[in-house]
Amino acid sequence: MRLAELSERSGVSTATIKYYLREGLLPAGRRVTATQAEYDEEHLRRLRLVRALIQVGGITVSSAREVLATLQDEGLDHNERLGTAVWALPHGPAPAADDPVADEAARRAGELVRRLGWGHGEDLAEAPAYGMLVGAIAALTRLGYPCAVEDLEPYGRAMGDIAGSDLDLVERYGGSADEQVEAAVALTVLYEPVLLSLRRLAEAEESRRRFTGK
The tens digit of pLDDT for each residue in 163-214 reads 999 889 888 877 777 788 888 888 888 888 899 999 999 999 999 999 987 7
Rounded Cα distance, 141 and 209, in Å: 29
Q: Identify the H or E element spanning 200.
A: helix 177-212
pTM of the model: 0.80
Alpha carbons 144 and 138: distance in angstroms, whole number: 10
Residue spans of the domains in the chain: they are 3-76, 100-212
The residue-averaged pLDDT of 79-94 equals: 74
Pick the CATH number of 3-76 from 3.20.20.140, 1.10.3720.10, 1.10.1660.10, 3.30.830.10: 1.10.1660.10
Q: Write out the H or E segment, with its range, that includes residue 65.
A: helix 61-71
CA distance 210 to 178: 46
